[in-house]
Structure 1
């Protein structure tokens, strides 16, 4: 009869746990990727049959927004941290908390306005037929994100 030491049992259990966790994570990542609807970028560049000129113009629009967006998102994160600090410091609905809420709403509003302007700028490059597909994709994306 063979006696298995506790170290062997522990190593086997650890290996099984790691393999199980890795397989679960990989499966979940695959499922999320499979269930995710195509992005607006994918729809524009893969389904609309853009002309070379449209593609060039859209690339320039996307590059400008990609440069602008990080600062807007950083301001939202800053405002969110300020709100957290104001709530922690004041422990109630004070003028300081309301000022932080207003800052957060303003930052979120600026990001949303810039995003919508970006979407309409992209749309301006499209033909009427392409714009119909694009509009439907935008509406679906907004409805999906709303839950």
Structure 2
């Protein structure tokens, strides 16, 4: 193998490893930043909920906790798949791209489910509570964008 060809392979391998590490780091950060306690805190600490609302929201949160755990497990599995594909590849191969695509689908599924959960929770609130809730959720999303 010529020196130029070796340089290309090494560069491609390092780029793939850096991409995988960045993907893992961003996924870890996103999952940590999107934890339910902040949403839980908004609902339970900032809104004056009645007993029926508390009961209904507790049931909604309990149902979503299991779903969220499954979705987060899928994100972790996709991350492992990506790591294995990068380790087994000589660069940006179809297997690496398939693993990246799997990761993006898993993250998208988690985000869609979380947004759906937000709207299910919102349906339990009075219009005045929903206005406060919406404002806090939008504020949190804007903070994440900064």
TM-score, normalising length: structure 1 = 0.71
Q: How does 1:47-58 map to 2 (within 5 A)?
A: 47-58=46-57
CA distance in 1, matches of 2:55, 2:75: 31
Cα deviation digits, residues 25-75 of structure 1 (max 9, x gap): xxxxxxxxxxxxx82211211221011111111000000011111111011
CA distance in 2, matches of 1:145, 1:136: 14
Max Rg structure: 1
Q: CA 1:96–1:120 in structure 2 vs 1: closer, same or farther (change >3 Å)? A: same
- Which 4+ runs in 1 deviate beyond 2 A? none
Q: What is the aligned partner in structure 2 of residue 82 from structure 1?
A: 81
Structure 1 residue runs of 5 or longer lacking an equivalent are 1-37
Q: What is the aligned partner in structure 2 of residue 146 from structure 1?
A: 145
Q: What is the aligned partner in structure 2 of residue 72 from structure 1?
A: 71
Q: What is the aligned partner in structure 2 of residue 23 from structure 1?
A: none
- For these two proteins, the number of residue pairs brought into alignment is 110
RMSD of the TM alignment (CA)? 1.3
Q: What is the aligned partner in structure 1 of residue 12 from structure 2?
A: none
Q: How does 1:1-147 map to 2 (within 5 A)?
A: 39-147=38-146
TM-score, normalising length: structure 2 = 0.72
Cα deviation digits, residues 68-108 of structure 1 (max 9, x gap): 11111011011011111111211311110111011101111
